[in-house]
Structure 1
Amino acid sequence: MGTTTDHRHAHNEHSGAALVRAARAALTDAGEQWTGMRADVFDALASQDAPASAYDIADALSAKRGKRVAPNSVYRILDLFVRTNLANRIESANAYLANRHPGCRHDCIFLICDDCGRAEHVDDDRLTEGLRAAAAAAGFADLKTVVELRGTCSSCTG
């Protein structure tokens, strides 16, 4: 019998203050500043149970700050967060999730519940390496691998 190799990543998942510290370190390591507005956007994003849109974040910040925050400002910050690996974008929903392990770069697989909207992030190098190899064989380069699987989560089926 052969041995089975686990191709999933082992991560140090952060939460609370540790997540904010890891995000701040990753952003400053990328040569960017951790401003008050960026901190507020990250806090609002990290507090969401499901993927959040820029409009959701802008509404939360507007309520917190007592003045209107423009969604365009939030979009720019979210784009920065995606580029620096602080957030992941759920393409099909145009929504974002805080990355719970901002120091780790890899391809993402999302399991998205059609009932409650919750998204689970899963890593499986074997799957994403296979997708990259298939794309390379078809002549594609500079890939951005985003895999989204939709269905019903265990909380909603149980």
Structure 2
Amino acid sequence: MTLTLISPAFADGDRLPEKYARGDRNLSPPLRWHGAPDGTRSFALLVEDPDAPGGTFRHWAIYNLDPERTELHESIETGPERGDLRVGVNDFGNHYYDGPAPPPGDPPHHYHFRLLALDVPSLSIPAQAGADEIADEARKHVIEEAELVATYGG
């Protein structure tokens, strides 16, 4: 079975609904996955915008997710489950999800939601680690990756 990432809020390639954008409610979207490969000991989730003017911009990085977990609820960071999430510092400098905020006049940007199945139970990184550091460390342990892309802006 292949690792698959979906959202009940948008389909792959669709425009991200406004409430998940930084200029609106800035909620993290609901995400679900299945098909974890054998040997998965944890997950990491990255949200990246490779179309940003200065290069890839990271909006969210969660790591050390339990391998039995199969979803993240909408706005999980403000809900009752917040305590078990390990969230890195995004490129806005915040320790939580920050949605799309492309510069006015830019064509639509592509937001890549990447779920990484890892072969380690936890990443050994400092609590204040940035999304780049989390991505770099997680990539050393990837068994399989699933991706869901949304557009926004333009």
Q: TM-score range by the shorter chain?
A: under 0.3
- Bigger fraction of residues in strand: 2
- Bigger fraction of residues in helix: 1
- Superposition TM-score, scaled by structure 1 size: 0.26
- Superposition TM-score, scaled by structure 2 size: 0.26
Larger relative contact order (CA 8 Å, sep ≥ 6): 2
